[in-house]
Structure 1
C-alpha cells in the first residue's frame, strides 16, 4: 500500500480526539475468522460487514465506521464526514442509507490487483468515562484476479482488446515464435492506422490482423501488474471449415449405412408378414 496523504482537516481533528481511546482487544481476537471475497480487475467488490452481531440491534447515536488494512486506514465515515485513502479515491464507499440498519459493507469499485489483501472494519462508539472505544466488526480477505482468454481471428479482421480499467496504462506483445516482449501501446499515445483507443470505452482495437500479429497480448496497470492476458491465433477460417467438413465425412457415411440397414430390415419384415398371411 502507498503511504496515505492528504487527510481533510476534520479527520485530523477526529484522530486527535481518539488518541488514548480504548480498543476492545477481546473483539480483535476474532480477526482470525475472516470472510473471503473475490473479484476480477475492473469489477466491483463488496466486503461484507454487519455491526449488529457485535453491538446489538440499537444503532449508535452517531455511526462512525472505519475500514483498515494491516498497513493503514482505507476508508472512514462519521455522519457526513468521509475520508478515503489516496489510492482508493473515488472507489471506496459505505452506503450511508444502509449503515443505520446495520450494514457497514465496504464497496470498492474498479478493483485492482493491488487491492488484494486483508481488510478489517471497526465501529467507534462511546466507551467508559466518555472515552471512545473502537470495536472490531469484521475481517475480510479480498482476492483480485486478472482476465485470461483465447481468441482466434482470420487475417484482415479486427482484434478488440479490453483494457478493463482506466488504470491500465500499457499493452505489451510477444510474438508466437519470440521470447521478447515489445511495447505495443501506452496510454496517451495517438491513434495510428492500425491501433485505435475507443474515445469512451476502455478498449483498444488492432485493425486488419496479419499472421505476424499472432501471439500473446498483456494489458498492464500502473504497477506493471497484468490486468489481462490474451492468446491470439490468426488463421484462415476456410481451412478450418474444410477440416471440419472432412471430419464429418465418416459420420455421414456411417449415417447412410445405418439408413440402408434399416431399409433392408423393413423390407424383410414386410416380406415375412406377407408369407405368413
Structure 2
C-alpha cells in the first residue's frame, strides 16, 4: 500500500511539474458541449491519434481550469479525491487512440470545463500536447405521472448521493420530509426503501402533489409531479348478443309464414 501511495504521489508531483514547465498547444475557443442526467455515466470525448503518431507510452491527463483531476501512464493511475473511484480511461481503448474519460455517477458538482492532454517524451524533452476541451453540464430528472388509488408509487433515487425525499401537496406550500437515508425514525412511515428506490404503497387522493429526491447538498436529483385519480366502480351491464341466424330459425320463420297464408285463404273463402 505504501508503494502505491508513493507512486500516486510521484505521479501527482510529476504532473504538476509538467503543467508548470511545459508549453502546451494553443487551446481552441469552442469546446465540445455534452450533457448528462445526474447519477448517470458521462463520457468526455477525446481522440489523440489524429494529432500524434508513434507515441511510445500512452500518458494521458485530464484537468479543469482549477486542478488536475485524472492522470494515467500505463498501469499507473491517479485521480482527485472528489472523483475517487469514478474516473477511468480504458487502457485498451487508449492504445487505439481513444482517450475519452468515463465519469461514473455524475453529480452537479462535476459541472465545468475539462481539458485533455497527451504527454510525449521526445529527445529528453517532455511535452504536453493538447487534445480536447469538453464542457460538461448535468441536469435533473423530471417526470409527470397519473396513477389510480391503491397503486404503488416507485421513486427512483438515481444515485447513491440521494439523501432525502420530500413532498408538497397539491394545495400546500409546505414541503414534508418523507424519507432520509439511514434515518429510521423518519422512515417508519409508508415509504419503503429497496435497492435504488423508495416505494409509497396504497396511493390515496391526498398523495397527489410533487415529490423531490434531493442530494446531500439539497439539490434536486429528480422531480415527480403525481396526480392520483379515483377509480370509479361501475356496474357491469350484461350485454345481450344477437343470436346468429341459423337453419332452424329460417325453417321456423317459413312455417309460420305458411300457416299465416293458409289462415288468410280460409278466411277469404268463408267471406265469399
Scaled to the shorter chain, the TM-score interval is 0.7 to 0.9
**Alignment of structure 1 residues 137-176 onto 2, 5 Å:** 137-176=131-170
Contact 2:11 2:78 in 1 (8 A): no
Question: Post-superposition shift, 1:133?
Answer: 1.6
Secondary structure of 2:51 counterpart:
helix
* Cα deviation 1:144-180 (Å, max 9, x = unaligned): 1110011112222211001111111111111111112
Residue of structure 1 equivalent to 2:49: 52
Return the TM-score normalized by structure 2. 0.77
Secondary structure of 1:50 counterpart:
coil
Secondary structure of 2:218 counterpart:
coil
| 2:195 is equivalent to residue 196 of structure 1 | no
Residue of structure 1 equivalent to 2:216: 222
Against the structure 1 CA distance between its residues 16 and 40, is the aligned structure 2 distance closer, same or farther, given a 3 Å change threshold? closer
* Cα deviation 1:91-142 (Å, max 9, x = unaligned): 11100011112110001122122222111101111155x2322221100111
Give the number of equivalent residue pairs: 228
Contact 1:22 1:133 in 2 (8 A): no
Runs of at least 5 residues in structure 1 that lack an aligned partner in the other structure: 1-6, 242-277
Runs of at least 5 residues in structure 2 that lack an aligned partner in the other structure: 235-272
Against the structure 1 CA distance between its residues 17 and 43, is the aligned structure 2 distance closer, same or farther, given a 3 Å change threshold? closer
Which 4+ runs in 1 deviate beyond 4 A?
none
Secondary structure of 1:24 counterpart:
coil
The structure whose residues are more often helix, as a share, is: 1
Q: Following the alignment from structure 1 to structure 2, what is the Cα–Cα distance between the partners of residues 127 and 24?
A: 14
Q: Which residue, out of 100, 103, 124, partners 2:98?
A: 103
**Alignment of structure 1 residues 79-90 onto 2, 5 Å:** 79-90=74-85
User: Larger radius of gyration, structure 1 or 2?
Assistant: 2
Task: Give the superposed CA RMSD.
Answer: 2.2
Return the TM-score normalized by structure 1. 0.76
Question: Post-superposition shift, 1:196?
Answer: 0.6
Q: Which residue, out of 18, 25, 28, partners 2:26?
A: 28
